[in-house]
Amino acid sequence: MIQYAAIILFVLGLYGLFTNRNVIKMIVSLNIMELGLNIFIISIGFTYDGVAPIITSSNGVGSIFVDPLPQALVLTAIVIGVGTTALGLAFAKSIYKKYNTFELGEVEEEL
Partner 1 sequence: MSAILLVAVPLLAAFIAILVKKFASYILLVVVLFNIILLATLPDGFVIIGGFNQPLGITLLLDTYSRIALILINVLILVIAYLNIKKYGNYANILLITVAGLNGLVLTNDLFNFFVFLEISGISAYLITTSNKKPASTFHYLVLGVVGSSLFLFGVIILYSMFGTLNMVDMIHKIQASNNYKELILPFLFMFIGLGVEAKLLPFNSWVRGVLGKSNTMSGPIFASVYAAAIAFVLGRFITNLFMFEGSLLVLVTVLLAFGIILGDVMAFSSTKTREILMYSSIAQASIIALLFVNGVVIWAVYLIIANALSKTVLFLVINKANDDVGSDEISKLKGLFSNNVIVGIAFTLSALSVMGLPLLVGFVIKINFLTELARNNQVWLIAVILIASIIEGIYFVRMLVKLWYKENNTINVKYNISFKIVFVVIALALLTFGTYSTPLKQLDNQIDTVMEVVNNG
* Residues of this chain that bind partner 1 (CB under 8 A): 10, 14, 17, 23, 26, 30, 33-34, 37, 40-41, 44, 69-70, 73, 76-77, 80, 83-84, 87-88, 91-92, 94-95, 98-99, 104, 107, 109-111
Residue 52 Cβ vs partner 1, minimum distance, rounded to whole Å: 19
Q: To the nearest 10°, the Cα dihedral for 88, 91, 95, 100? A: 80
When the beta carbons of 58 and 79 are compared against partner 1, the nearer one is 79
When the beta carbons of 57 and 88 are compared against partner 1, the nearer one is 88
Helices (H), 20-109: 23-44, 68-99
When the beta carbons of 12 and 44 are compared against partner 1, the nearer one is 44
How far apart, in Å, are the Cα atoms of 87 and each of 25, 29, 31, 82, 91? 15, 15, 13, 9, 6
Residue 106 Cβ vs partner 1, minimum distance, rounded to whole Å: 10
Of 72, 5, 12, nearest in space to 42 by CA: 72
The DSSP 8-state label assigned to residue 21 in this structure reads: -
Please check whether residue 77 is in contact with residue 38, taking contact to mean a CB–CB distance below 8 angstroms: yes
When the beta carbons of 58 and 109 are compared against partner 1, the nearer one is 109
Residue 1 Cβ vs partner 1, minimum distance, rounded to whole Å: 15
